[in-house]
Structure 1
Amino acid sequence: MAFVDAMLRRLLRRRMRSAGLVGGPLLLGLLLPWSSALSDGERSPVDLLGQMSRALSELEYEGTLVYLNGHELSTLRIAHRISGGQAHESLLALSGPVRAVARSRQTVTCVLPDARAISVPRHLGSAATLHSGSLDAERLRPYYLIHGLGRSRVAGRDTHVIGIIPRDNLRYGYRFYVDEQTGLPLKTDLMDSSATPIEQVMFTEIEFLNGDSTEAADTTPTLASKPPASSLSSAPVDAAPWWFSELPLGFEVVAGDASAAASAAIQRRWFMVSDGLSTVSVYIEPDQGHGLAGHKRVGAINAAGRSLNGFQITAVGEAPLPTVKAIAAAVEGQP
């Protein structure tokens, strides 16, 4: 059996090389578990991604999901509602200390175990529990391979498995397990360059609701899903007096604070840099001498910081450390 597996791996590697595909261990790790090709009449991965985007913004449901980050496992109760044309989520931790997170259009509020609540301003790039927002396949294709990976079952439901596989080491890979009936992603794997899952989110049970609810019946905080990344890049971002030079291939500034909103006395700015799938937030504020110098990692989140002309530059996002460091290094300006 080991000999057969080795032969299959060598054969698949030769085919990928002849097709001009790169990605190394990540590509192999994503493709090997599913070797069946799409049958006639099967929906394409791009069509399934479109259905997934619509499901995330239109469906109402309740369920229990598990979140695995490294060796830490959490269980969450989630309720997803549509109110005023906006998607909202309520989250409640079922394991560990009692805690909840609320995200509105304006703020993010964390409810701590002692019932204290801490609120901070929310930026448009803040992610929801499930990856949401439309995905522009044409924009992704130069940097990712979008591939159907067969079928699987999650929470007792049939799913199509889609791999979004990076063509280089500048971004992470994804596996989406898309519900065959509704299009909702019932499981999402975030993969590093060695095909090792960094984060996994999976429903263990789910109930789909009718669509006539106008407000969440749950009393836990609501969490609004992020807007599509493609809509954030519809207009040029005024970054003055800052600018970005030599961003990693495929990344561009797609959102940011209006420069007029930054007080001349405070001069705090925020920008979001994205390749259409991976996003990195960049924060610029006066250097108080206690900002991040160097880099730090928590799960899939990497952060890099440095000082520039009396300001602290901090880049944070779900992207490999070299990418986050390069984005932080690309910030230039002399306010």
Structure 2
Amino acid sequence: MSRRLPLPRVTAIAVISGNLLIGILFGLWLPSVAAETGAEQSPIDLLSQMSRALSELEYEGTLVYLNGHELSTLRIAHRIEGGEAHESLLALSGPIRAVARSHQSVICVLPDAHAISLPRHGGSASTLHAGVLDADRLRPHYLVQGLGQSRVAGRDTRVIGIIPRDDLRYGYRFFVDEETGLPLKTDLMDSSATPIEQVMFTEITYLDRVSDEIEAQAPKSVGGPSAAQASSPVVTVDSSPWRFSELPAGYRVVAGDPPEPDADGTEGTRRWFMVSDGLSVVSVYIEPDQGQGLAGHKRVGALNAAGRSLDGHQVTAVGEAPQQTVQAIAAAVKMQP
């Protein structure tokens, strides 16, 4: 029996406590990408090809995840039902852990065999899920370029680099299957181009259907809105009574949820907002301060979290962005008089 838990505090705790399976799974998802025109396939075109592959292909395979000196092996199964993507992830090394996710929810089986269900916000899953990538918006902050060819899991790939122009964001390196467009290896890098986290397929099989064995071992995911609905860009966000002032260069509020009702059914003050520079994503959670929230900063792998108290509320910012960026976003939250 899974336990459905309040989103803001549980999500922050799950990230901060080191449940890296969720981060690995989310890292394999990309948004729809606006392709540039031209006779030759540009790096932006390859990103668009990745988006189509991730939304159309069914596959299963084995992944290795490297974070510092921590190496994990995982089994992934990805299927499409009614135009919606569903994924299952099972740890093959260390304690038994499993994750299933759809566009609506994430279900986690923890080492103690307890399951928790985390509802998802549209488009809030991760870095690289901030909606349609706008090449013009990225150019002031990132350099997108081809980095040649390589071999991953016995398959030919083309390598794309997304290089930050400052210290406010991470860089990425994608190894894209030349035949299918699927990213077979992903490197998340700091400003000095040193990998922080790496995810790589060691073997992959493209299927019409996912094997029953993998689905039987992982929790069942729940259906949700279509991929097109999940990645629809939000133009304006009603953040009242909150405002965001002096956000880091290039970042702005791109999505948000209305207040979540309190346990007694009255209008609540729990809020979630997505802050993005067009590629990097940071989630901001605001809830009543009960004296148990994060104060200061915490890092788990590439994930940074920053928290503080503000006018009787706990503000927590979590995302795959450098520490200074996440802290600045948390500090930018103000309550309107």
The alignment's TM-score, normalised by the length of structure 2, stands at: 0.80
Shift, 1:265, TM fit: 5.2
Match of 1:283, SS state, is: strand
Q: Deviations over 1:100-146 (max 9, x none)?
A: 01223433221123321122322224437997965332221121000
1:242 maps to 242
Q: Does 1:328 align with 2:326?
A: no
Shift, 1:232, TM fit: 4.7
2:19 maps to none
2:57 maps to 59
1:275 maps to 277
1:315 maps to 317
Q: Is the 8 A contact 2:123 2:129 kept in 1?
A: no
Q: Is the 8 A contact 1:45 1:147 kept in 2?
A: yes
Structure 2 unaligned regions, length at least 5: 1-37
Which amino acid in structure 1 is aligned with residue 294 of structure 2? Answer: L
Instruction: Tell me: CA distance 1:230–1:143, structure 2 relative to 1, closer, same or farther (3 Å).
Output: farther
**RMSD value, Cα:** 2.7
1:6 maps to none
Q: Is the 8 A contact 2:171 2:188 kept in 1?
A: yes
Match of 1:124, SS state, is: coil
Please give the alpha-carbon distance, in whole angstroms, between the structure 2 residues aligned to 1:265 and 1:290.
22
Number of residue pairs the alignment of both structures matches: 293
1:287 maps to 289
Instruction: Tell me: CA distance 1:229–1:43, structure 2 relative to 1, closer, same or farther (3 Å).
Output: farther
Q: Is the 8 A contact 2:90 2:97 kept in 1?
A: yes
Which amino acid in structure 1 is aligned with residue 319 of structure 2? Answer: G
Instruction: Tell me: CA distance 1:121–1:110, structure 2 relative to 1, closer, same or farther (3 Å).
Output: same
Instruction: Tell me: CA distance 1:131–1:264, structure 2 relative to 1, closer, same or farther (3 Å).
Output: closer
Answer with 156-165 or 134-143: which moved more: 134-143
Shift, 1:286, TM fit: 0.8
For residue 144 of structure 2, the aligned residue among 137, 143, 146 is 146
Which amino acid in structure 2 is aligned with residue 199 of structure 1? Answer: E
Shift, 1:290, TM fit: 1.9
1:26 maps to none
Q: Deviations over 1:216-235 (max 9, x none)?
A: 74222356899589945333
Please give the alpha-carbon distance, in whole angstroms, between the structure 2 residues aligned to 1:125 and 1:85.
16
> 1:1-335 to 2 correspondence within 5 Å?
43-127=41-125, 134-210=132-208, 213=209, 217=212, 218-219=215-216, 220-221=218-219, 231-259=231-259, 266-334=268-336
Answer with 228-237 or 287-296: which moved more: 228-237
Which amino acid in structure 1 is aligned with residue 81 of structure 2? Answer: S
Instruction: Tell me: CA distance 1:237–1:41, structure 2 relative to 1, closer, same or farther (3 Å).
Output: closer
Larger Rg: 1
Structure 1 unaligned regions, length at least 5: 1-39
Match of 2:41, SS state, is: coil
Please give the alpha-carbon distance, in whole angstroms, between the structure 1 residues aligned to 2:147 and 2:173.
9
Shift, 1:182, TM fit: 0.5
Please give the alpha-carbon distance, in whole angstroms, between the structure 2 residues aligned to 1:231 and 1:155.
30
Q: Is the 8 A contact 1:281 1:317 kept in 2?
A: yes
| Sequence identity percentage | 74
Shift, 1:151, TM fit: 0.3
Please give the alpha-carbon distance, in whole angstroms, between the structure 2 residues aligned to 1:228 and 1:249.
28
